[in-house]
Structure 1
């Protein structure tokens, strides 16, 4: 049975069976970077493309005292490490600070 699970065709089938998951993220701008525009970060997050996820909605929202955060809604395959890949891609964007998962659910 272990040899069967190592077969890539079986792993692909398991990935197809697992379905999709929807995640909502809260992304804070990096306080160490001056002149961070949340609108620019929103555009760059919307431009992220990968076959494992689809950014459905990304918008800047008020937090408090003139501060803003970015709310990101993404749908991806339900698989090990896929949300980590998306989070790493967001962290690579200049001006991105803390990233928090607000909600996660199966579709």
Structure 2
């Protein structure tokens, strides 16, 4: 079975009053059975709004991507998750 590299754009939930710093720290300490977070960056979007960009590697297989994204969504303050780039390693 192969591995999949994914680059995510993770937005803060505007209703949760969460900071990108807190989400980035939670992403760095995320422990998952299906993948690992290799790098986390905080980047500006517009007008002072920040987002978290995460570079992750997960196992290839049925349901692994959905399972990993569900673990990201479980982090307090996470709003939208967008896949910016995906490819096999």
| 1:67 lines up with 2:49 in the alignment | yes
**Relative contact order (alpha carbons < 8 A, sep ≥ 6): 1 or 2 greater?**
2
Question: What's 1:56 paired with?
Answer: 38
The correspondence for 1:102, drawn from 56, 79, 84, is 84
More strand by share: 2
Separation in 2 of the partners of 1:52 and 1:89?
A: 10
Question: What's 2:15 paired with?
Answer: 32
Q: Name the SS for the 2:27 alignment partner.
A: helix
Question: What's 1:4 paired with?
Answer: none
Question: What's 2:64 paired with?
Answer: 82
Normalization by structure 1: what TM-score? 0.79
Separation in 2 of the partners of 1:85 and 1:51?
A: 9
Q: Name the SS for the 1:49 alignment partner.
A: coil
Separation in 2 of the partners of 1:37 and 1:90?
A: 15
Which 4+ residue blocks in structure 1 deviate beyond 6 angstroms?
none
Q: CA deviation at 1:80?
A: 1.0
More helix by share: 1
Normalization by structure 2: what TM-score? 0.94
Q: Name the SS for the 2:25 alignment partner.
A: helix
How many residue pairs get aligned? The number is 89
Q: CA deviation at 1:51?
A: 2.9
